[in-house]
């Protein structure tokens, strides 16, 4: 009996269970992420560089990048970042609300994007 490898989808990429170690080894770690931020009310677009584990504010959002990785130049381009986004609001007495926690991909922003009534965030690249 022949065992078929399990197929795993990560964003727009597919890999097999047998190729997982080489997949993990092919990612390069970055020290910061560059995000494109949109304020839907004012239509203001900003580029925001966020260092790893350093909370950064955009409007009422507090964004923390826990990990950012990118593919080497000889492989198909892709950037991935693990984000934690909280809405701290304008009132310091109110507790912050978790808005998003998870992976975002530069090649497929719609797969796992931030859903917020006022703000939108897209991963542009990971910076070394």
d(CA 27, CA 94): 39
Sign of CA dihedral 10, 48, 90, 39: negative
Domain coordinates in residue numbering, the chain: 27-127
d(CA 13, CA 101): 20
How many residues in total does the chain contain? 128
d(CA 51, CA 68): 9
Tens digits of per-residue pLDDT, 52-86?
Answer: 999 999 999 999 999 999 999 899 999 999 999 99
- pTM score, two decimals? 0.76
pLDDT band at residue 115 using 50, 70 and 90 as cut-offs: confident
């Amino acid at each position: 009996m022949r065992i078929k490898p399990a197929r795993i989808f990560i964003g727009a990429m597919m890999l097999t269970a047998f190729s997982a170690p080489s997949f993990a080894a092919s990612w390069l770690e970055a020290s910061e992420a560059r995000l494109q931020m949109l304020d839907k009310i004012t239509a203001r677009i900003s580029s925001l560089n966020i260092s790893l584990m350093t909370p950064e504010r955009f409007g009422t959002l507090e964004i923390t990048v826990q990990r950012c990785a990118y593919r080497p130049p000889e492989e198909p381009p892709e950037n991935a970042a693990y984000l934690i986004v909280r809405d701290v609001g304008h009132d310091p007495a109110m507790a912050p609300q978790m808005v998003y926690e998870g992976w975002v991909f530069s090649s497929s922003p719609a797969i796992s994007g931030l859903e917020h009534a006022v703000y939108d965030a897209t991963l542009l690249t990971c910076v070394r």
